[in-house]
Copies of this chain bind each other. A is one copy, B any other.
Amino acid sequence: MAAYAYGIGIGTRNKKGEWLEVFFPQPRLAPNDAIASCLASEVTNSEAGLNSSALKALREALARNGAEDDAALLAKLETQSDAQAGADEAGGEQALVVVYLTEDAAPANVPEAYLKLHLLSHRLVKPHETNLDGVLGVLHNVAWTKEGAIAIEELTERTLDARLQGRHLEVSCVDKFPKMTNYVVPSGVRIADTARVRLGAHVGPGTTVMHEGFINFNAGTLGTGMIEGRISAGVVVGVDSDLGGGSSTMGTLSGGGNIIISVGEQCLIGANAGVGIPLGDRCTIESGLYVTAGTKVSVRDADGASTEVVAARVLAGESDLLFRRNSQSGAVECLTNKTAVQLNDALHAHN
């Protein structure tokens, strides 16, 4: 039976009943046939609530088929089922959501989009492995406050009411994407300033994101790494690579055009440097140097001899490169550990 993913969650609806966000504590990929079959019959609409008999049927199917944790979660959340949805401190409404996706289609609504962002941040899928087409159009712009998600149009009144009640309504983010850490902190990571990692980021085990680091949704690291630079939407960084403070990777949403930038393993992007081409493994970019796809690069062989000047895009995906700007001639150079013959082969492979 075709089945992609499901999630049992609790989310916020605004006064119009629209979903602003959903928290899925335990998102699941690839449910087994028995669970999928029950989901298929009970969960007909990602945005609608389940009545008590559907909840009961689902809870029992989960418990019988190896998903005791999900059955327990559902039981815990039943107190927030549609009939009893609870008001939160921000004046919104917290309600139970169950999302079932039979296939990996573009997200059709807010709960589906949130389930997919959770799949990424729970590391159940890697960046680019789940279909996020149109996600920016599906998500609402939301005011993320210390009292939870608030619809933008309700914000002024809430801010004033909080004052009159002697409270202070801190607004930490006004965006379509919330902070990842308010939904999940995957194992083995440090994130020094959580405002800089969006839900939908994939933060590999052993990754430290320092204060100047940033990870967009559908982007991230695959394992250990020290991230003090910016991982733009769509960019993936391999194991044991470091992004220096303030370093930049070009994203597909803005400057990067349609090349998907990636960084291989054991790379080092220096502080305040930048990269606009995919890098192979063990590449280094000197601090302060921005290598765009169009940067003309003087390639040097293992003996330091110049072999050719090429646009950096020709070097995309190659390993063992060191990019620097010659501090006296001003020329951007690429040092390799290859001989001139090997280099010429590599440079002309795509002619």
Give A residues with C-beta under 8 Å from B.
10, 23, 25, 76-77, 79-80, 86-90, 94, 141, 143, 145-149, 152, 155-156, 159-160, 163-164, 166-177, 179, 181-185, 189-196, 198, 211-212, 214, 226, 228, 230, 232, 242, 244-246, 248, 250, 254-255, 270-274, 276, 286-290, 292, 295-298, 309, 325-332
Give the complex CA separation of A194 and B150 in angstroms.
Answer: 15
Which single member of B166, B211, B328 contacts A331 (CB below 8 Å)?
Answer: B328
Q: What 10 A-B pairs have minimum CB-CB distances, sorted nearest first?
A: A330-B330, A288-B290, A148-B168, A171-B181, A248-B271, A193-B195, A88-B166, A296-B327, A327-B332, A174-B191
A94 to B186, CA, bound (A): 26
Q: How far is the CB of A109 from chain B (nearest CB, A)?
A: 20
With contact pairs A147-B168, A332-B328 given, residues A195 and B214 touching in the complex (Cβ less than 8 Å): no
A265 to chain B, nearest CB (A): 18
Are A190 and B164 in touch, CB under 8 angstroms? Answer: no
User: What is the CA–CA distance of A295 and B287 in the complex, to the nearest angstrom?
Assistant: 10
**Please, which residues of chain B bring their CB within 8 A of the CB of A149?**
168
Q: Say whether B89 contacts A168, CB under 8 Å.
A: yes
Report how far A153 CA is from B15 CA in the complex, Å: 34
Contact assessment for B272 and A254 in the assembled complex, using a CB-CB cutoff below 8 Å = no
**Bound CA–CA A158/B274 (angstroms):** 39
The answer to whether B169 touches A182 (Cβ under 8 A) is yes
Q: Would A191 and B175 count as touching, CB distance under 8 A? A: yes
Task: Tell me how far the C-beta of A179 lies from the nearest C-beta in chain B, rounded to whole angstroms.
Answer: 7
- Bound-state CA distance A244–B25 (Å) is 35
Contacts of A194 in B (CB 8 A): 171-174
Residues of B within 8 A of A214 (CB): 211-212
Does A272 lie within 8 Å of B290, measured CB to CB?
Answer: yes
- Could you jot down 30 A-B contacts, CB within 8 Å? A80-B164, A88-B166, A89-B166, A89-B167, A94-B163, A141-B190, A146-B168, A148-B168, A152-B185, A159-B182, A159-B183, A171-B185, A172-B194, A174-B192, A193-B195, A228-B254, A230-B246, A246-B248, A248-B272, A255-B287, A270-B290, A271-B290, A272-B272, A272-B274, A274-B288, A286-B290, A296-B327, A296-B328, A326-B330, A328-B330
